[in-house]
Chain A
Amino acid sequence: QKEVEQDPGPLSVPEGAIVSLNCTYSNSAFQYFMWYRQYSRKGPELLMYTYSSGNKEDGRFTAQVDKSSKYISLFIRDSQPSDSATYLCAMSDFGNEKLTFGTGTRLTIIP
């Protein structure tokens, strides 16, 4: 079993829809949770960074962490074609610099 599980998709939704992306994990030591966006042939770009359980909002993006269920989510409101990319969840434990990534979900927003 992988430490971090993420549905690879692909996921296609119409423009303006709400997108929900999810990851589950097995390592209860994970304390920091991140979502990265990766465009084709580019490096990952940090979208959201959370530490505690609960919700964190930044513009059209909301990150949700449920440590009791070992489940994290990223919601994208009013999705735009420019949101088309691969979304990677990542996590690490306290004091550990290395990130453990999910496999990524490929998202396409249809105009």
Chain B
Amino acid sequence: NAGVMQNPRHLVRRRGQEARLRCSPMKGHSHVYWYRQLPEEGLKFMVYLQKENIIDESGMPKERFSAEFPKEGPSILRIQQVVRGDSAAYFCASSPMRTGNEKLFFGSGTQLSVL
């Protein structure tokens, strides 16, 4: 059973470009969470999704950021018009149930670098 798969592992974008980060949850997991880790900071919650639904997006910046988890395919975190401050590691986690902190598994992350 493969773990949480994130790709790409590294993504380089110039200011103003779009970044698309993909996350395939573990088999049987229908709950996906995105976290951002800035240098010297802990992980910060961004958004929680179930298939076709955004459940909690209280940690998402109001502009330029969006997330989806379609019925088929991976979850996508999309950042439009990237700025240097978006440079960070973005981690996806999945769980099989809503209150699944004990069964929450993280991917290896996507390191976004904005030039």
Contact = CB atoms under 8 A, between A and B. Distances in A.
Contacts of B42: 4, 6, 88, 101-104
Nearest to B38: A103
A55 to B, nearest CB: 17
B109 A43 contact: yes
A88 B56 contact: no
Contacts of A99: 35, 43, 45, 101, 104
A17 interface: no
Interface in B79-115: 91, 93, 98-102, 104-109, 111
Interface in A31-80: 32, 34, 41-46, 49
Contacts of B31: 97
A97 B55 contact: yes
Interface of B: 4, 31, 33, 35, 40-45, 48, 55-56, 58-59, 91, 93, 98-102, 104-109, 111
A87 B91 CA distance: 16
A93 to B, nearest CB: 11
B44 A43 contact: no
A37 to B, nearest CB: 11
B40 A44 contact: no
12 contacts: A6-B42, A32-B101, A41-B108, A43-B91, A43-B107, A44-B43, A49-B102, A97-B56, A99-B101, A100-B45, A101-B35, A101-B44
Nearest to B43: A101
Could you say which of A88, A98, A99 has the most chain B C-beta atoms within 10 Å of its C-beta?
A: A98
Contacts of B99: 95, 97
Nearest to B103: A46
